[in-house]
Structure 1
Amino acid sequence: MILGAVLIGLVAACTDSVDTPPPRPQFPKWHPQQPRPADRDEQAVGAALTALDFCELIDLAAYDRRKAGDTRPVTREPKVRDGRKTCTLLRDGYEALVYVQDMDPSHAWLRNDGAVVDLGGVKAYQVETRRDGGVSGCAITVPVSFQRAIGFELGPQSRSKDCGLLRDFATAGAAKLSRDLVYPPDGQDSGRVGACADWVSTSKGENCDPAVDAQVPTGAELVLAAGAADPNVECAVFREAVKKTFGPGFEPIATPGSCYFVEPQHRLQIEAGATANGGAPGQWLADPNKTYKDHHQTSFSGNPGVTFRSTDDREFSLYVSPLGSLDAVGHVRLTITPERERGIDDWDRSKAVTAVDVAKARAVMELAMATHFRTAR
């Protein structure tokens, strides 16, 4: 009976060791630590906009310079839409040429899509819309707080859709705004700190810090554990490889669970990680739900890995195991995503990952793995 009990205990122990995987490590959630800039007083900005005559921001002298001999009369028509002031420059009483409006705060994050322009010492964001091979519109936004802004836009009856035309109106209008209401060209007009302003995201910046230098430990397990606890370590794993391959214009930013490398033009964004929290690379190779395509098993500096694309060709990803097995939990990853160029709303432009960027992504992963994961496991 004693022997039977021992055998039963041994069988149970063996069963537990096979069926019950060891608990996954738990790491404290990382939160941004750098102080956030303060916004302007909301009531003061609201009062200034309430008192503002938006029609005065449409400069008739700017129209005279651009009317090209058209002698038809123009008028400025003020309105209030959804509680916000707007004014339209009308020709012959019905042709809408230029709009000026108090932008709804919900559109504040859209300024991240605009190219930063200087309107005679006033910071603004410009977006040119392109369709069917031509320019079909232009909009310029002048921020007056983190959430509020004054928008200038060409109307549908404007003969030209050139942003140069709208820049004349916006520059003249911005000059009529008080200096304490606008921002200088390098002014802090959002809650995003440093390179976080170049992150393609709708975030207000509360979950992003510019990455700081961090020590990458020796040994795969230690690197993955450190990366799971601090995205600055994940950035450090890739910092030199991205700089050498994609160029110094890409700056690292730390967000909860990921490092991103961003650049001001928004043409490409790179997401990187080295973490014990993530799944095994083999999960992406198996891809039971067929979420991705073009799966390939490969290796980087002797470490097994997989590559794949999104079904719309807008992302290319590489997942590598520094632990010697695609089934081992934890990974080193890199994902590249082409984005709409800042300041250009191009409906015709393909967003597919290029072969050149794929080759660069492979080179980054190879260099990162060779630098930080050469040691014996």
Structure 2
Amino acid sequence: MKFRRVILGAVLLGLLAACTDSVDTPPPPPQFPKWQPKQPRPADRDAKAVDASLAALDFCELIDLAAYGRRKGGDTRPVTREPKVKYGRKMCTLFRDGYEALLYVQDVDPAHAALRNDGAVVDLGGVKAYQVESRREGAVSGCAITVPVSFQRAVQFELGLQSRSKDCGLLRDFATAGAAKLPRDLVYPPDAQDSARVGACANWVSTSKGETCDPAVEAQVPAGAEVILAAGAADPNVECAVFRDAVKKTFGPEFEPIATPGSCYFVEPRHRVQIEAGVTANGGAPGDWHADPNGTFKDHRQHSFSGNPGVTLRTKDESGLLMYVSPFGNLGSRGHVRLLISSEQERGVDEWPRSRALPAVDVAKAHAVMELVMATHFRVAR
């Protein structure tokens, strides 16, 4: 009898332990193979050939004195062009009266390749270039125009500190005349591929060279919340497909989808606003974001989107809005539908101080997108 009680006790303890494990130990999160870009990357120009062409170039010849003559007005003081090698790269400065630096032309290093992502695309008489106008305290304080000669190298024209005019129109005259003197095999036509970024990836606000980005391709959105979130976790093209129509209808066709590992982005050429969208079984539950244990965000609110519970948060500088929604009717359930929208620095404008607050109209549009997405793909009877 005593033996049977011992056996029975052991069985009960085992059952209790099994129950405890099933309650206290959550099931492992789903695992999906990491998506990688599939489209071929464009090839850059031969670096040695570009180096040789730039080494043979007289940078002072790129400063056109006829252009200066058209712009000098009544100033009769003499000007000189002075060449220099700085940090191993050629440059030339246009001086007036021997000390007033009016214009710089220089071979800029690979670190400046990112300027193409910040600059507005301009056409210098059939030559592709990027223009950035600097503004300080509401006034124009400078201008720079970058002419790419490879994916990593460029010739830059910039107004000097002593130039009385900071007008980009003035610099455009010099840059157009200078670009016309560059070898044709160095410059790019206005619509040419001058970076490793493919298609709409050129409009992605990111320091990436484009190796982790593909323009999104059409994908089928399956039926059922669990299946959609699993498909989105495995392929960002599915995430883009879930949001594509809603973003196009609400924000406009200029926002194009791109696929990156783990996220879909909708990007536009002017860089004023960028949207990240996702539907994934990976990542935390919406309630985790609402809890925000580190106090990273502000304005934590709960909302309902087509009957689905969700949360919204804002970045402390008010430049970004984050939205996380549960398609399972529970903010604590793992997996989410998300929309992150942020205001960005407009392409071609370097402004300080800059208002970073996301406009109220874009906040309203973001809510409309999420409402439409949830109504289209996740309105189910519970």
Instruction: Mark yes or no: TM-score above 0.5.
Output: yes
1:333 Cα deviation (Å)?
A: 0.3
Deviations 1:293-324 (A, max 9, x none): 00001110110000010111110011000011
SS of match in other structure, 1:88: strand
Deviations 1:260-312 (A, max 9, x none): 00000001000000000110000111111111000001110110000010111
1:348 Cα deviation (Å)?
A: 3.0
Distance in 2 of aligned mates of 1:376 and 1:142: 57
Name the counterpart of 1:35: 40
- The answer as to whether partners of 1:88 and 1:100 remain within 8 angstroms in 2 is yes
* Aligned with 2:372 (options 359, 362, 367): 367
Distance in 2 of aligned mates of 1:13 and 1:133: 68
Name the counterpart of 1:100: 105
Query: Please, which moves more after superposition, 87-96 or 348-357?
Result: 348-357
Name the counterpart of 2:266: 261
* Aligned with 1:281 (options 282, 286, 292): 286
What is the RMSD of the two structures over their aligned residues, measured on CA atoms?
0.7
SS of match in other structure, 2:254: coil
Distance in 1 of aligned mates of 2:333 and 2:75: 73
Name the counterpart of 2:239: 234
Name the counterpart of 2:249: 244
- The answer as to whether partners of 1:219 and 1:376 remain within 8 angstroms in 2 is no
The reply on whether 1:220 has 2:225 as its aligned counterpart is: yes
Deviations 1:225-276 (A, max 9, x none): 0000000000011000000000111000000000000000001000000000
Name the counterpart of 2:209: 204
SS of match in other structure, 1:121: coil
Identity of aligned residues (%): 80
* Aligned with 1:159 (options 155, 161, 164): 164
Distance in 2 of aligned mates of 1:107 and 1:142: 11
Name the counterpart of 1:169: 174
Distance in 2 of aligned mates of 1:348 and 1:292: 22
One-letter code of the match for 1:310? T
SS of match in other structure, 2:319: coil
- The answer as to whether partners of 1:39 and 1:191 remain within 8 angstroms in 2 is yes
Under a length normalisation based on structure 1, what TM-score does the superposition of the two structures give? Answer: 0.99
- The answer as to whether partners of 1:90 and 1:97 remain within 8 angstroms in 2 is yes
The reply on whether 1:181 has 2:177 as its aligned counterpart is: no
Gaps of 5+ in 1: none
Distance in 1 of aligned mates of 2:181 and 2:39: 36
Deviations 1:80-117 (A, max 9, x none): 00000000000011000000000011111121100000
Name the counterpart of 1:64: 69
1:349 Cα deviation (Å)?
A: 2.9
* Aligned with 2:135 (options 130, 136, 150): 130
Distance in 2 of aligned mates of 1:317 and 1:289: 16
SS of match in other structure, 2:354: coil
Alignment of 1:43-122 (within 5 A): 43-122=48-127
The reply on whether 1:272 has 2:268 as its aligned counterpart is: no
- The answer as to whether partners of 1:232 and 1:259 remain within 8 angstroms in 2 is yes
The reply on whether 1:7 has 2:15 as its aligned counterpart is: no
1:376 Cα deviation (Å)?
A: 4.0
Distance in 2 of aligned mates of 1:180 and 1:79: 24
Distance in 2 of aligned mates of 1:259 and 1:186: 25
1:69 Cα deviation (Å)?
A: 1.2
Distance in 1 of aligned mates of 2:325 and 2:138: 41
- The answer as to whether partners of 1:196 and 1:210 remain within 8 angstroms in 2 is yes
One-letter code of the match for 1:219? G
One-letter code of the match for 1:307? T
Gaps of 5+ in 2: 1-5
Name the counterpart of 1:328: 333
Runs of 4+ in 1 over 6 A off after TM superposition: none
Distance in 2 of aligned mates of 1:374 and 1:19: 31
Deviations 1:9-35 (A, max 9, x none): 111101101111101100000000000
Name the counterpart of 1:23: 28
One-letter code of the match for 1:37? P
SS of match in other structure, 2:372: helix
Distance in 2 of aligned mates of 1:68 and 1:329: 69
One-letter code of the match for 1:35? P
Distance in 2 of aligned mates of 1:184 and 1:55: 23
Between the two proteins, the alignment pairs up a number of residues equal to 377
Name the counterpart of 2:3: none
1:346 Cα deviation (Å)?
A: 1.3
Name the counterpart of 1:342: 347
SS of match in other structure, 2:131: strand
Distance in 2 of aligned mates of 1:222 and 1:376: 16
SS of match in other structure, 2:242: helix
Distance in 2 of aligned mates of 1:310 and 1:363: 20
1:374 Cα deviation (Å)?
A: 1.6
Distance in 2 of aligned mates of 1:348 and 1:42: 38
